[in-house]
């Protein structure tokens, strides 16, 4: 029996799973399997998809799941939509645990876009040496950009199609402002591209860009299905406790 299913892959999801296990809750964390060596959460872990909304609804029913917490990355559109549909079908309460997005501050030169394709167009217009921190799966959007030099930071090696002038840095956060500043200077970066992931783990690059006068192309978060939403792990733990107590 799984009392709570956590759709995970984020730091918040791991913290939530640890908190639930500490409280004696039977929790299963679901990971998409896109990262070769993910940081595993406490409790039970399953890797891979459910077979769409219908498959997830069946899984919830078969495992007697009392609640689902969608703590996936803000850009994980497919699983978010599946979770909303599946929990409705199965009659299981759904919570969205979503970290707040980043807020532009004084001295920031941010350029907001809706897609990675638009980010490629804007970044190429802004500079010649571009730092991509938008994830390996989106690098194909920049493959048509033949003029600029790109530095892409990823957890795992990316697959083609890729920009012709590309260096790949395999690394995983958290990062420091000092380290990010050194990276910008070493590679003579004049544009930074990122998704509005939010959270503290990768904000150092934004501070470094501000200090170095580097413009930032920021991809907006995609719309998600309506769901009760909280912004931090403590609030999610309280919600789960209320569901289980009821």
* pLDDT recorded at residue 36: 67
Query: Fold match between 4-100+223-245 and 110-219?
Result: yes
| Sequence-ordered alpha helix ranges (H) in 91-171 | 116-126
Among the listed residues 241, 238, 236, 231, the one whose alpha carbon sits nearest the alpha carbon of residue 24: 241
- Is the pLDDT reported for residue 33 higher than 80? no
* pLDDT recorded at residue 63: 96
SS3 state at 20: helix
* pLDDT recorded at residue 32: 85
CB contact at 8 A, 186 and 216: no
CATH of domain 4-100+223-245: 3.40.50.720
Domains in the chain: boundaries:
4-100+223-245, 110-219
Strands 44-47 and 166-170: unpaired
CATH of domain 110-219: 3.40.50
* C-alpha distances in Å from residue 187, one per residue of 22, 132, 134, 144, 146: 44, 12, 17, 21, 18
Q: What is the pLDDT of residues 161-209, one digit of tens each?
A: 999 999 999 998 899 999 999 999 999 999 999 999 998 889 999 999 9
- Is the pLDDT reported for residue 34 higher than 80? no
* C-alpha distances in Å from residue 11, one per residue of 73, 189, 199, 233: 9, 28, 9, 10
* pLDDT recorded at residue 200: 87
- Quote the CA–CA distance of 111 and 232 in Å, as a whole number: 27
- Quote the CA–CA distance of 235 and 237 in Å, as a whole number: 5
- Quote the CA–CA distance of 75 and 211 in Å, as a whole number: 27
């Amino acid at each position: 029996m799984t009392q709570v299913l956590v759709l995970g892959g984020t730091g918040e999801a791991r913290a939530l799973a640890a908190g639930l296990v500490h409280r004696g809750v039977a929790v299963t964390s679901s990971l998409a399997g896109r990262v070769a060596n993910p940081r595993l959460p406490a409790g039970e872990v399953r890797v891979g998809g459910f077979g769409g909304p219908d498959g997830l609804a069946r899984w919830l029913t078969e495992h007697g799941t009392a609640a689902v917490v969608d703590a996936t990355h803000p850009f994980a559109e497919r699983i978010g939509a599946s979770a909303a549909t599946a929990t409705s079908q199965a009659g299981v309460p759904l919570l969205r645990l979503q970290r707040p997005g980043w807020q532009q501050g004084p001295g920031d030169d941010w350029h907001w876009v809706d897609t990675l394709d638009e980010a490629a167009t804007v970044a190429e217009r802004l500079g010649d040496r571009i730092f991509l921190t938008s994830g390996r799966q989106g690098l194909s959007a920049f493959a048509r950009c033949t003029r600029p030099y790109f530095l892409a930071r990823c957890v795992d090696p990316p697959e083609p199609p890729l920009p012709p002038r590309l260096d790949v840095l395999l690394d995983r956060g958290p990062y420091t402002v000092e380290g990010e500043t050194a990276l910008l200077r070493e590679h003579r970066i004049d544009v930074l591209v990122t998704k509005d992931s939010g959270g503290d783990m990768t904000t150092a690059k934004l501070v470094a860009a501000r200090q170095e006068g580097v413009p930032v192309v920021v991809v907006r978060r995609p719309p998600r299905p309506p769901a009760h939403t909280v912004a931090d792990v403590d609030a999610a733990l309280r919600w789960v406790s209320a569901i289980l107590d009821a």
